[in-house]
Every structure is written in C-alpha cells, then in structure tokens.
Amino acid sequence: TKTIRDALEEVIPAKQARLKQLKTEHGQTVIGDIKVEHVVGGMRGLKAMLWESSVLDPMEGIRFHGLSIPECQKVLPAAPGGKEIIAESMLWLLMTSKTPTEAETRQLSRELAERGELPEYVVQLIDSLPQSLHPMTQLGMGVAALNKESKFAAAYERGIKKTEYWTYTLEDSMNLLARLPALAARIYRNVYNPGKPIPGVNKDLDLVGNYVNMLGYGSNHDLTEYLRLYIALHGDHEGGNASAHTAHLVGSTLSDPYLAYSAALFALAGPLHGLANQEVLRWQLNMQKEIGDNVSHDDIKEFLWRTLQSGQVVPGYGHGVLRSPDPRFMALQKFCETRPELLKDPVIQLVKKTYDVAPGVLKEHGKTKNPYPNVDAASGCVLYHYGLTQFKYYTVIFGVSRALGCLTQLVWARALGLPIERPKSLSMDVIDTLVKSP
Ligand code: FCX
C-alpha cells in the first residue's frame, strides 16, 4: 500500500511545473485591484496568497480540492465501524488532492499511531503548568516545545538542498499531527481530572479514536463519531483565516512546523476566531439561565438585541468571507437531526432556535455583512450533550483539527519553494500621497 509520502512524491512534480508556468506566463497579469479599504480593512477579499488544499466560496462555503462537504462525506473512508469522515482521509485528500482508498487510510492511521506518544520532556513541561492556565496557551506551549525534535531544523542546521525541504517538513508534520491527541488529552486530564490515568496510544485506532480514548470518552461511540466529523470539517478553511495565515507566514521564514503551528494556535485562541466556539456555549448557557428551558423565539430575539445593544458581537454568527449559512454548521446540525436523543437536548434546541431568529435580528441590526451562523455556532452544544462540558477546552479540539490544513500547506509551500512573506505596508502620509497621484 502506498504511503502518504509516496502519494505526494507522485503529485509534486506536476504542481511544481504548473507553478513555474504560471510565473513565467502570467507573472505580470493583473487579477485584482488594491484599494485603500484593503489597506485599512484587514485586507478583506484581497487576492494575495497561494493555497491549494481548499477554496472558500462566499455562497457555497468550503470545497476541499473541489469537493463539497457532502461530496467528501460520500467518498472519504470512515473508521472501521463508523460512518463519518476521519482526520486521516481528510489529511490524505488535502495533501495529495486524491481520495484515499480504505487501505491507504488504514495505513495512515497506523503510521500516525506509531508516532503518537509524547516525549517525556513535553509530558513534564505540561504537567508543570498551572491548572488555571488556559488550555489553548498550554497547547501552543506544548507544540512549540516539540520543536526540540524537529527533523527540519536539524537538517537545516546540517545543511540541506532546497529541494529536500519538503521531505523534512512532512516528517515533522506527521510527528506533530500524531502527537497532538496525546498532548491535547494530557492538557484536558491535568486541567479537569488531575491524576486520572491516561491510556496509551492504541495502534489499531484512528487518530480521533485515540484522542477520544485518551480524553476518557472512548466508550462513547456517538461522541467519537461526532469528533471525527468535527475534526475533519475544521481541518482547513482556505489560507487567509488568521490561524492558517499565521502558520503560513511563520513557516515562510523556514521556522520549523512546530513553531509555525504553535503561532497559528495563538491566532486561533482569539475570540473573533477559534475561541468563538467557547464563547458561543457560554452565551447560549447564559441565555438559558436567564430565560429558562422553555424559550420562545421572541425571548431569543430579545436576548439577541440585549447582546447587540451592550456592544458585544453575537458569537458564532458572521464571517470574513462567507455570505450564507456555513455548510460546516449545516453538517453538524445534520448529525443532530439523525439522533433523536440529541434533538431532545435543551441546549441543542436552543442553538437551533437561535438559528431560526438570529439572521433576521442581525439583518435588522444592519452591521454584519453576513448574518448567518458559522461553524462555531453549532460545534460546542453536541460536545456539551455528551458530557464534555468544559467549554474552555473546546478551542483545543479546533486546534487539533486545524493542523491538518496548516501542515499540509507548510509541506506544499516548501515543495513549491514559496518565498518568505513580505507585503508592503504604508503610512497614512504615503496613502495620502498615493491617493493624490495614484
Ligand atoms: N454580531 C454583532 N456584530 C457583528 C457580528 C456579529 N456576529 N459580526 C460582524 N459584526 C459587526 C462587526 O463587528 C463590524 O462592526 P464595526 O463596523 O462596528 O467594526 C461590522 O459588523 C462589519 O463586520 P463584517 O465585515 O461583517 O465582519 P468581519 O469580516 O469584520 O468579521 C467576524 C468577521 C467573524 C470576526 C465577525 O463576524 C464576528 O466578530 N463574529 C462573531 C465571532 C465569531 O463567531 N467568530 C468565529 C468566526 C469563524 F467561524 C472562525 O474563525 O472560527
């Protein structure tokens, strides 16, 4: 059976040739304008970055190498005994642009499991951190510390050719992906169940199967399936979002994958980005506390207006690119719709009811360009239902997932020889001059 590295070796030369051709034939072709609003508006919509694994359409949402979420759900192999996409089949697709066979998926699971144990010094580091340190801070620290083992950094120090960069980047990426579950599970154990034994990595399980097992929920098949889907769907959301862009920027300096991904995690830890899933649940539970279980649509409307009038954002709604309900939100809602026990859960019902009224309220409020839910609106309530109630931990799960896309891009950036990022910044004086005589 082919390994992921074999599959990459097959596809890299054609992509390299295609990029070379693009540069020589179209290096000077104009594909967009830069307006002052881009310079002062967070570069929203500016087409200025190469990212192969996924593209986000404002109306349709994300496609992974051209495949929509329902298409991925049809063709990507699940775990033995499961139905949902798993991290390995998504990783294979992202990396190679091909759909893996069942055998390739299983082999990738085994390869990751074999690399999955944490080095002892990282265990000691994580165990020494205060229990009250936010789980995302701990995750970023643990990932950065893993760079002691970086094959890329060691090879670079020894002196290697540029054409070899991607192979060491892949090696580091695989080790990092493999170790994220043990790292993330150790953080969970230390913060919420100190002293509880953690099972070792089971070589026969997929990445998320092992993660759930190490979190202590291995016997819950439905939660395992939910997290498989969750982690596959959060894996990549094109390149411009803050975490993906951070990994790409830091990686472009030839910082190794551990450092680049650790930086990405600290971008993910912001409330406008990945931390929103923690915020959503806190906000929905506050709503429940204030107005009780039997909530009407009018009650929710009133609560939404109170949030907006106090100057806060409605967490889980709005998006930098999307202009319709996020298909990741829809896929997670669909997971609930097939399980009657989930539909009966008051918090899940509240999320659904909020979706019925929030777009109308946000439209009337008139500020956000996208009044629809993003993935964070739905992701936490199912975890809560299954007993994973510590919502400060939720962004860590997002962090385990986002590595799929960020590390894929690092491998490709090195395979394609992409340069260090260095956009031009302008002062207001310079903008004034340019505006007068463009
Ligand atoms: N509630 C209230 N106001 C909102 C809003 C929301 N959910 N979303 C956007 N707005 C406001 C903005 O704050 C901005 O106000 P301002 O003009 O006073 O600064 C205005 O609407 C225009 O913003 P817009 O262009 O629509 O959105 P941006 O691209 O600037 O920001 C995010 C996009 C996602 C940051 C924004 O919609 C937001 O804050 N949402 C809530 C937090 C959230 O759910 N984040 C997760 C996003 C994502 F899925 C992820 O990264 O995980």
The reply to whether ligand 1 has any atom less than 6 angstroms from the CB of 240 is no
Pocket of ligand 1 contains residue 317 by CB under 6 Å: yes
Q: Which residues contact 228 (CB under 8 A, 6 or more apart)?
A: 78, 79, 82, 84, 85, 86, 87, 206, 208, 209
* C-alpha of residue 139 to centroid of ligand 1, in Å: 26
286 CA → ligand 1 middle, Å = 20
Residue 374 beta carbon below 6 angstroms from any ligand 1 atom? yes
Tokens of 330: 């829809």
With a 6 Å cutoff on the Cβ, whether 399 touches ligand 1 is no
**Contacts by 268-273 with C-beta closer than 8 Å and gap 24+?**
268/136, 268/242, 268/243, 268/395, 268/398, 268/399, 268/402, 269/134, 269/136, 269/137, 269/140, 269/395, 270/242, 271/315, 272/242, 272/313, 273/241, 273/242, 273/243
- How many angstroms does the Cα of residue 36 sit away from the middle of ligand 1? 20
From the alpha carbon of 243, which atom of ligand 1 is closest? 51
Nearest atom within ligand 1 for CA of residue 370: 26
pLDDT of residue 343: 94
Q: What mean pLDDT is predicted for residues 22-36?
A: 97
Q: 169-193 pLDDT, tens per residue?
A: 999 999 999 999 999 999 999 999 9
Probe residue for ligand 1, chosen from 319, 321, 365 as the CB with the greatest number of ligand atoms within 8 Å: 319
Given a cut of 80, whether residue 438 has pLDDT beyond it is no
Distance (Å, whole) CA 89 – CA 231: 11
Whether 273 lines ligand 1, by a CB cut-off of 6 Å, is yes
Evaluate: CB of 129 within 6 angstroms of ligand 1.
no
335 alpha carbon to ligand 1 midpoint, in Å? 26
CA dist., res. 33 & res. 44, Å (int) = 12
Establish whether residue 279 lines the binding site of ligand 1, counting it when its CB lies within 6 angstroms of any ligand atom. Answer: no
Residue nearest to atom 3 of ligand 1 (CA): 313
pLDDT for position 3: 97
189-248 residue pLDDT tens: 999 999 999 999 999 999 999 999 999 999 999 999 999 999 999 999 999 999 999 999
Sequence-distant (≥ 6) Cβ neighbours of residue 279 within 8 angstroms: 271, 315, 316, 376
Distance 371 CA to ligand 1 centre (A): 9
Taking the centre of ligand 1 as the mean of its atom positions, its distance from the CA of residue 55, in whole angstroms, is 20
Look at residue 292 in the predicted model and tell me its pLDDT: 85
Nearest-CA residue for ligand 1 atom 10 is 368
Q: How far apart are CA 222 and CA 204, in angstroms?
A: 19
Q: What is the pLDDT of residue 437?
A: 83
Q: Is 325 in the pocket of ligand 1 (CB under 6 A)?
A: no
Catalytic residues, which ones? 273, 319, 376
Could you tell me if the CB of 319 is within 6 A of ligand 1? yes
The residue whose CA has the least distance to atom 41 of ligand 1 is 315
Fold of 108-273+390-415: Citrate Synthase; domain 1 (1.10.580)
Q: What is the pLDDT of residues 414-427, one digit of tens each?
A: 999 999 999 999 99
Which protein residue has the closest C-alpha to ligand 1 atom 1? 313
Atom of ligand 1 nearest to the CA of 317: 7
Alpha-carbon distance of 400 to 410, in angstroms, equals: 16
Ligand 1 midpoint to CA 319 (Å): 6
Domains of the chain by residue range: 108-273+390-415, 276-385
pLDDT digits (tens, 9 = 90+) for 289-338: 998 878 899 999 999 999 999 999 999 999 999 999 999 999 999 999 99
Cα 183 to Cα 96: distance, rounded to the nearest angstrom: 26
Here the tokens at position 308 are 């907006």
314 lines ligand 1 (CB under 6 A): yes
Mean pLDDT of 329-349: 94
Q: Is the pLDDT of residue 40 over 90?
A: yes
Percent of the chain with pLDDT over 90: 97
> pLDDT band at 273, cuts 50/70/90?
very high
Confidence tier at 259 by pLDDT (50, 70, 90): very high
308 CA closest ligand 1 atom index: 2
Q: Do the first three CATH levels of 108-273+390-415 and 276-385 match, i.e. the same topology?
A: no
Q: Which residues contact 335 (CB under 8 A, 6 or more apart)?
A: 84, 225, 226, 229, 342, 382
The mean per-residue pLDDT over the stretch 380-397 comes to: 95
Atom 48, ligand 1: residue with shortest CA distance: 273
| Cβ of 315 below 6 Å from ligand 1 | yes
CATH class of 276-385: mainly alpha
Cα 410 to ligand 1 centre (Å): 28
Give the pLDDT score at 121. Answer: 98
Region 153-167: mean pLDDT is 98
Q: How far out from the chain centre does Cα 162 lie?
A: 28
For residue 114, how far is its CA from the centre of ligand 1 (angstroms)?
41
